A and B are shown apart, each in its own frame.
Chain A
Amino acid sequence: MNRYVIVGTGVTGVTALNTLRTNDPSAEISMVGDDPHGFYSRPGIVYYLNGEIPENQLPIFSKKDWKPLNVHFVKGVASRLDLRNHLLEIDSSSVLKYDRLLIASGSTAVTLTIPGACLKGVVKLDDFEDTRHIISLARHANCAVVVGGGIIAVELVEGLMARGLKVHYFLRGDRYWPNVLDEKESRLLEHRLAEDGVILHYQTEAAEVLGKRGKVVGVRTTKGETIRCQVVAVGIGVKPRMELAKSAGLATDRGILTDETLQTSSPDVFAAGDVSQVHDPQSGKSIVDTLWHPALDKGKVAAINMTGKRSTYVRTLTTNVLRLAGVLTSIIGAVGSGVDDDLVSVARGSSETWHELPNTISLESNGDVNHVRLMIGEKKLVGAIVMGDQKLSDPIQELISSKVDISSIRNLLIPGAPLGQIIMDFWSAHKLPVRSA
């Protein structure tokens, strides 16, 4: 009987568990995790924060769903990995023996390093408990400062607004998320936030969090300005939780390095999800994603390989569809380049591939609310941003992922052209079905 151990109770771990049980019904499977809430929708915590759902909506599985998976849960921190003897130590007290092990420990928010960063009231939005903590603080607060970039910072801004706080949002540069959005898109979202009452501070950085009796009472900026607040919310990026891998001597870089089968530098240890940095044979690069669906796919591939069968992770088009400042937005493929000064590492809910824009031309079509930007290569589309009306989102995803030759409409794609209509007509003519899975 095979003994599998999965470290992590997120979507990667649970997908791996499901796949292991399907492929090896008699196996002994243990799952180790330190999150007291187990498996829940991590992207969903923002909707708990903004009050759209109650906290009891976050757990994804019921007892009925867990039963057929027949898994042994071990609550605790996976503290040491003995590769030679195939042993995993938990909380430096108990030990699990494994034949194959999966590290799916995810990522954790990067914290501020400025003076006052340890005061009560400085928060991150990483997990269930963080969300509870913010909601609890918000009950006795009237003002917050948010620092950071990417999706999570805006979700913090919106969540704190929804909890009735006045929110100041600090941006180090001139605009929001400059390595993914173009200037018009940044302005559109900033405008929406400002309309909702958010006070945006450009070229502003927190120099010190001010405290009194251990609690936050304000923030001093690098310009010398002081803003009184009781909450400082931080969304400056995430870092893979790879302490276990590092101390065991596994090869790591920005994440735990794996080949396309999700195998690490040790043959019986696999890594998947946010913690992994996976080799992509097509580009020759090793890439970190912090997106839900790649995490799910990687969990599946790793589990198949753990059972001794062969599967490779094929990088699909990295896409995220989400609501940003109230605007439904699809980010598809390569759309930007460079760095975002508001982030010190990869943002949660993003992919490094979004910033690897090759030589392209950018073309936009704007309406009052709806906006489309296409990144056009020589013969194919390589990326797009679709904001507002999402009718074009699926057709564009299909055209990019299928690498459809767009030479026949290339000359039509010029400034001022009705982009939406051209793309829809072209897509319909190719009879590419809308992807439903």
Chain B
Amino acid sequence: MGIQISLSREFQRREVLVSGHVVPKPGRCVQCGICSFNCPIGIDVRRHAWLGEHIEASQCLTCGECVRRCPRGVLSFERTELFMKGF
């Protein structure tokens, strides 16, 4: 039972990771750069927040490192249309 719950959670987590992208709320961002510093592939997430743009770079792994590390809750995952169910 425990294993089933754990697998289900892991499935949900991965589903979000592959079907979402990172979205900044520029009204919260103070440009500290923690997000860019922690991006494993060097995307300048901070610049996206300055410009108010979603992180739609095809290289983005949606690993969630920037979302997790932001000290001001600026970044979040949002579902993309691209992988909606029924596609």
Q: A-side interface residues toward B, CB under 8 Å?
A: 11, 41-44, 47, 52-54, 57-58, 60, 292-293, 319, 321-323, 328, 330, 390, 393-394, 435-437
Contact = CB atoms under 8 A, between A and B. Distances in A.
B14 interface: no
B36 A436 contact: no
A60 to B, nearest CB: 5
A53 B27 contact: no
B61 interface: no
Given A57-B37, A321-B73, A328-B73, A292 B25 contact: no
B73 A436 contact: no
Contact of A437 (B26, B50, B69): B26
B73 to A, nearest CB: 5
Contact of A58 (B33, B73, B74): B33
A41 B25 contact: no
Interface string B39-51: 0000000100010
Contact of B73 (A41, A44, A54, A390): A390
B71 A60 contact: no
Nearest to A390: B73
B58 to A, nearest CB: 21
Contacts, number: 62
Contacts of A11: 31
7 contacts: A41-B31, A41-B32, A43-B32, A44-B32, A57-B36, A390-B73, A435-B27
Contact of B71 (A47, A54, A330, A436): A47
B73 A393 contact: yes
Closest 5 CB pairs of A and B: A44-B32, A43-B30, A57-B33, A41-B31, A323-B71
B82 to A, nearest CB: 19
Given A57-B37, A323-B71, A323-B72, A293 B27 contact: yes
Given A60-B46, A328-B71, 15 more contacts: A41-B31, A41-B33, A43-B30, A43-B31, A43-B32, A52-B34, A53-B34, A292-B30, A319-B27, A323-B71, A323-B72, A328-B72, A330-B73, A436-B23, A437-B27
A437 B50 CA distance: 11
Given A41-B32, A53-B32, A60 B37 contact: no
A53 B31 CA distance: 12
Q: Which of A53, A58, A390 has the most CB of B within 10 A?
A: A53
Nearest to A397: B27
A156 to B, nearest CB: 16
B28 interface: yes
Contacts of B71: 47, 52, 322-323, 328
Contacts of A41: 30-33
A87 B74 CA distance: 41
Given A44-B31, A54-B37, A321 B23 contact: no
A44 B30 CA distance: 7
A60 B51 CA distance: 12
Given A60-B46, A437-B25, A437-B52, A322 B72 contact: yes
A7 to B, nearest CB: 21
Q: Which of A44, A321, A330, A437 has the most CB of B within 10 A?
A: A321
A60 B36 contact: no
A108 B63 CA distance: 39
A322 B28 CA distance: 9
A274 to B, nearest CB: 14
B16 to A, nearest CB: 15
A60 B36 CA distance: 11
A11 B30 CA distance: 9
A33 to B, nearest CB: 17
A390 B74 CA distance: 11
Nearest to A11: B31
Nearest to B30: A43
Nearest to A316: B27
Contacts of B52: 437
A393 B52 CA distance: 19
A331 to B, nearest CB: 12
Given A54-B37, A328-B73, A47 B32 contact: yes
A100 B78 CA distance: 43
A293 B25 CA distance: 12
